[in-house]
A and B are shown apart, each in its own frame.
Chain A
Amino acid sequence: MENFAFLTQNFGRYDTASIGSYMNVGGFQALKKAVNMDGEEIAQLIARNKVKGRGGAEYDMGRKWSQARAVQGEHKVIICNADEGETTTFKDRELIKNDPFNLIEAMIIAGWAMGADKGFIYMRAEYACLRPLLLNAIRQAKNYGFLGTNILGRGFDFDIKLYSGAGAYVCGEGTALIRSIEGKAGRPRMKPPFIKVSGVFALPTCLQNVESLSLVPHLLLDEEGRYAAQGTEDSVGTKLVSVAGNVQKPGVFEIPFGTTVREIVYGLAGGLPEGQELQLIQFGGASGKAAGPDILDCPYTYEDLRSHGVMVGSGGLAVVDKRTSVLDFLRINQDFFSEESCGQCTPCREGNLHIKLILEKLSAGTATAEDVRLMKKIARVMSMSSLCGLGETAQNTLLSAMQVFPEVFEVTERQTGGVAL
């Protein structure tokens, strides 16, 4: 498969510790262009390319920028979500490692476009080794006048601060992340107020994933429309995917939307280990959905994946071969949520506990049909009534697996206490 590099076009082309080196490959040209544009024009450019947020929720990014612009406020905030806590998801790690200056430039452009003056990067503690790289990039950008006051003589002030997470998956959720930046424990809060109106320190806040932001400088400079020429009508351009699990060459790959799942798994990621057979693929990490081998010929686009019952989500693909049973896979996934639920609200705290217990019973062969019914009900209640996105999505994988692998959940009813369904 030919390699099309758009998001990754700077990878390996400059010294990531040097702003001079970055500028030699066109660094900060996009910012110079942006400050001669109206913020709404930039939002429209993003909207025309139908960019959806790359953190997992797939929210329309151009629309988000227009909305953020419309909110009034003396101070406004841009946050880059570099928490990357979703399992089998490590694309943001590669973007930061290989192109840190582009992310800084993207944040400044976002600041300009939305009229924000404060930028925060919230990066998971697991990526602490990348902190010096980002701190250095911020410092150098400041020295060159790309951060600070009156940037490029346009009367525009913007600064970036780097914050660290400390091992809580829930802190990738907007309101939790904001509390963490405020120096508190990252427990999510009820919405409204929405963070676009009242986010960090009660200021209007726009939260965007690393990959979403990283795309912007490249789009601004893409005059020939190289990006828009890739992909499909509804899934324009390219996407980073991270593939791991039972594959020979796990890694991060940039693919044009529309590449088939087979090409990703067998072409780019080297296929399954010798002699192994595919059981399932989980798309979008622990909060994503699972599909069986018939997903292989599906084009990787928002619309096609959705029609096959899965989602792009975080861009992660967990490939699982037949050495792991569907039930074991689900139990491993459940362990993740049982560990990461913050325990603040009842549906998520209790729901995760009970589903874990029922999955154990299913594994042990002691579950009843009533248990299975209850499990499904709890999963639905969790998705409808949890306080935050963690509880709402925790059972996505289970519910999808119940559709795809109904046989796993068939229970032969024992005589005593048999329940009529």
Chain B
Amino acid sequence: MLNNDSPGSPLPDGLQAKLDLVLEAHDYDATQIVGILLDAQELNELHYVPEPVSYYLAERLKMPVSGIFDCLSFYSELSDKPRAKYPLQVCSSIACRVNQSDSLASVLKELLGIDFGETTYDGRFTLEKATCFGACDRAPALRINGQVYGPLHSREEIATLLRGLD
């Protein structure tokens, strides 16, 4: 089935049009595949690129789908598996670690009842470790869907932030 003529299952209504807009914004340029996949995965509530989407993009960009799969597995910001609605990314690099990012992580674990790599039962949150995302002046920093929050010290602040999502 690794053939561009067999796009697997059909795309849900409306998604195709949205993907076409993403493709257009990148001039249907296959070299921009990384940017295209980043945008495409944001069309999905669970922030990932489902297999039929990969096949569709490969077809429209006239590129082998294996190239897309290679990118999906190589780049840590891309995912071919469903994540949560709110992936919580705790920075685990030096500026954040020496500013008690471990306590930030403990508070999150306790509030949500999950550990790193786990998802809450309702699929709303996953807890992930990230390497430095360039917000070291806001350490300890947390990133949720590209948005940076920090410095986050008090339990109260963290709880309010989680409640405020949605």
Contact = CB atoms under 8 A, between A and B. Distances in A.
Contact of B75 (A166, A246, A335): A166
Contacts of A126: 133-135, 143
B114 interface: no
Interface stretch (A53-61, A103-111, A315-323, A361-369): A315-323
A242 B35 contact: no
Pick from A90, A166, A187 the residue with the most CB of B within 10 Å. Answer: A166
A134 interface: no
A39 interface: no
Pick from A163, A169, A244 the residue with the most CB of B within 10 Å. Answer: A244
Pick from B37, B97, B99 the residue with the most CB of A within 10 Å. Answer: B97
Interface in A129-175: 129, 163-169
Pick from B38, B95, B99, B131 the residue with the most CB of A within 10 Å. Answer: B95
B78 interface: yes
A313 interface: no
Contacts of B63: 183
A242 B136 contact: yes
B139 A250 contact: yes
Contacts of B37: 166
Nearest to A185: B74
Interface string B68-83: 0011011111100000
A229 interface: no
Given A90-B135, A125-B77, A320 B30 contact: no
A116 to B, nearest CB: 17
Pick from A86, A88, A252, A335 the residue with the most CB of B within 10 Å. Answer: A88
Nearest to B151: A250
Interface in B24-41: 30-35, 37-38
A89 B131 CA distance: 12
A168 B76 contact: yes
Nearest to A340: B131
Given A183-B67, A184-B71, A164 B136 contact: no
A245 B74 contact: no
A21 to B, nearest CB: 26
Contacts of A84: 134
A396 interface: no
Given A87-B94, A245-B98, A250 B76 contact: no
Nearest to A324: B98
A392 B108 CA distance: 36
A128 interface: yes
Given A128-B146, A242-B137, A85 B132 contact: yes
B67 A89 contact: no
B126 interface: no
B54 interface: no
B103 interface: no
A12 to B, nearest CB: 17
B75 A244 contact: no
B30 A183 contact: yes
A124 B76 CA distance: 12
B92 interface: yes
Contacts of A340: 131
A296 B152 CA distance: 29
Contacts of B71: 166, 183-185
Given A169-B131, A246-B98, A163 B93 contact: no
B94 A166 contact: no
Interface in A307-330: 316, 318, 320-321, 323-324, 329
A93 interface: yes
Contacts of B38: 125, 128, 164, 166
Given A126-B134, A167-B77, A183-B33, A88 B94 contact: yes
A318 B74 contact: no
A167 B76 contact: yes
A218 to B, nearest CB: 24
Contacts of A251: 137
Nearest to A124: B134
Contacts of A169: 131
A374 interface: no
A88 B136 contact: yes
A360 B116 CA distance: 20
Contacts of A89: 134, 136
B85 to A, nearest CB: 19
Contact of A166 (B76, B99, B130): B76
A87 B35 contact: no
A335 B67 contact: no
B131 A90 contact: no
Given A125-B77, A166-B76, A183-B32, A244 B95 contact: yes
Given A183-B30, A332-B94, 18 more contacts: A85-B132, A87-B93, A87-B131, A89-B136, A90-B135, A125-B146, A126-B135, A164-B32, A164-B35, A167-B77, A183-B32, A184-B70, A184-B71, A252-B137, A286-B93, A318-B95, A332-B93, A332-B98
13 contacts: A86-B132, A90-B136, A166-B37, A167-B75, A167-B130, A168-B76, A181-B31, A183-B32, A183-B33, A244-B136, A244-B139, A245-B98, A320-B94
